[in-house]
Structure 1
């Protein structure tokens, strides 16, 4: 039976290995791929050392612009008995990624799904934050409107405090600095705020402090992929 391999992509340049060697060897035979961006996928596949010449690979695109009704057609090689690799722009496919649609359809058709080990910016940020890793939620992007974003942050901080749950989210990179400024101004002094930027890259920056203890000079996050993590101190029961 054919298998859908979920292949993590590097979080930055593919100059250094990002998959464990046993995982890399499992995908060298693949000739069919579903990718989020063809240009970067070709670069990643070349770095992985797939045995088929890059120009001869079959690459089908699945991204946020793909109509839902077109996703089923991407299963055709699998239904014909050909293994397929799913690879996103960066990190783990199907996590905060449109590839989840294809994975769901593969399960419906009885196709084997094989997730491979590789970098996940969300988990790396959570690991490095010191926040509660037993209970957490990823929310993707917060509202663009400043007022709506303020209300969203208020709800997330309250939820974190009430449920002892870490809240994880991202922002469009050119708005990172504005979001960090708002977080530092709005969150309670005892709430833990962590930023994890350029993970796995030489420019990696990770800061995790209570809001009151954050350094006066914040790092510049402009146009740098960043994960934001907040964990509010649970409310103490009244006596």
Structure 2
């Protein structure tokens, strides 16, 4: 690696409580030549609080592709640069993927700092299985696409972790009840590390009722965690045989739907048959 090249530092920032920033993160932010921030005004408040005067410029979803090459050029010229998002760890449902990919391809050293991440913090306190989990980020905003994605995850044996916007929380939970059933356990964590931090778990139907009792419960940054799907009973051999035969002539989804209806089974269990390997 060319030692004259700079380093890109991935710097997590607090979710809300400024005491959660690490001393190493503060040192990096003070020492680099430039800070790339999702929102320079938001990050400016953090920098001002800690008396850090490093210049910053915006890098967000709408300008990353245009700015990444310019930032890469500064790194190749020897500048050290920090990448931050508004809160938590950059790239985790936040901008930065394009820039980091370009840096890796160009031989620029990328150094990740450990630190706050809403998904991990929420999961650790959820009471749901943590040995295996799947982070799914934000679900689609449109209901049809959201239902399709949830349907694809309905038999997932790992804990599911989502981010969700307050304006869509009730719609998303209603769709989860439709796909997962009213008894699936869901844990909502919101406003983590902040004054009104709340972690509340209940069957998805009850969680909706709890949110509807008080509109204030529907506000804030949210993480939704869904318990793993119950283990499926072994599929009848006749159903498996019929599905495999139909799948040779029909799309898998159609074959699964027909056999599921005939045998009163969940179509996902059939559709996923043989796909795991």
- Tell me the TM-score range normalised by the shorter chain: 0.7 to 0.9
Task: Find the counterpart in structure 2 of residue 127 from structure 1.
Answer: 124
**Greater CA radius of gyration, 1 or 2?**
2
Q: Does 1:11 align with 2:15?
A: yes
Q: Deviations over 1:45-98 (max 9, x none)?
A: 222332xx3xxx432221111152431111222212121110111111121112
Between the aligned partners of 1:147 and 1:176, the Cα distance in structure 2 is 16
Task: Find the counterpart in structure 1 of residue 220 from structure 2.
Answer: 224
Task: Find the counterpart in structure 2 of residue 28 from structure 1.
Answer: 30
SS in 2 for 1:157: coil
Scaled by the length of structure 2, what TM-score is found? 0.72
Of residues 135, 140, 154, the one that matches 2:137 is 140
Q: Does 1:204 align with 2:200?
A: no
Task: Find the counterpart in structure 2 of residue 176 from structure 1.
Answer: 169
Per mean C-alpha deviation after superposition, the further-off stretch among 122-131 and 139-148 is: 139-148
Alpha carbons of structure 1 residues 23 and 60: separation in structure 2 relative to 1, 3 Å = closer
The structure showing larger relative contact order (alpha-carbon pairs under 8 Å, at least 6 residues apart) is: 1
Structure 1 residue runs of 5 or longer lacking an equivalent are none
Between the aligned partners of 1:142 and 1:95, the Cα distance in structure 2 is 14
Structure 2 residue runs of 5 or longer lacking an equivalent are 236-277
> RMSD value over aligned CA atoms?
2.5
Alpha carbons of structure 1 residues 124 and 193: separation in structure 2 relative to 1, 3 Å = same
C-alpha displacement of 1:237: 4.2
Please identify runs of 4+ aligned residues in structure 1 that moved more than 6 A.
none
Per mean C-alpha deviation after superposition, the further-off stretch among 185-194 and 201-210 is: 185-194
C-alpha contact 1:175 1:222 (8 A) present in aligned 2: no
Between the aligned partners of 1:215 and 1:178, the Cα distance in structure 2 is 9
Task: Find the counterpart in structure 2 of residue 166 from structure 1.
Answer: 159
C-alpha contact 1:192 1:209 (8 A) present in aligned 2: yes
Q: Deviations over 1:88-118 (max 9, x none)?
A: 1111112111212211211112222121122
C-alpha displacement of 1:122: 1.1
Per mean C-alpha deviation after superposition, the further-off stretch among 215-224 and 109-118 is: 215-224
C-alpha displacement of 1:143: 2.5
Between the aligned partners of 2:119 and 2:24, the Cα distance in structure 1 is 23
C-alpha contact 1:157 1:230 (8 A) present in aligned 2: no
Alpha carbons of structure 1 residues 77 and 147: separation in structure 2 relative to 1, 3 Å = closer
Scaled by the length of structure 1, what TM-score is found? 0.83
SS in 2 for 1:227: strand
C-alpha displacement of 1:207: 1.2
Between the aligned partners of 1:32 and 1:145, the Cα distance in structure 2 is 38
C-alpha contact 2:28 2:82 (8 A) present in aligned 1: no
Alpha carbons of structure 1 residues 70 and 211: separation in structure 2 relative to 1, 3 Å = closer
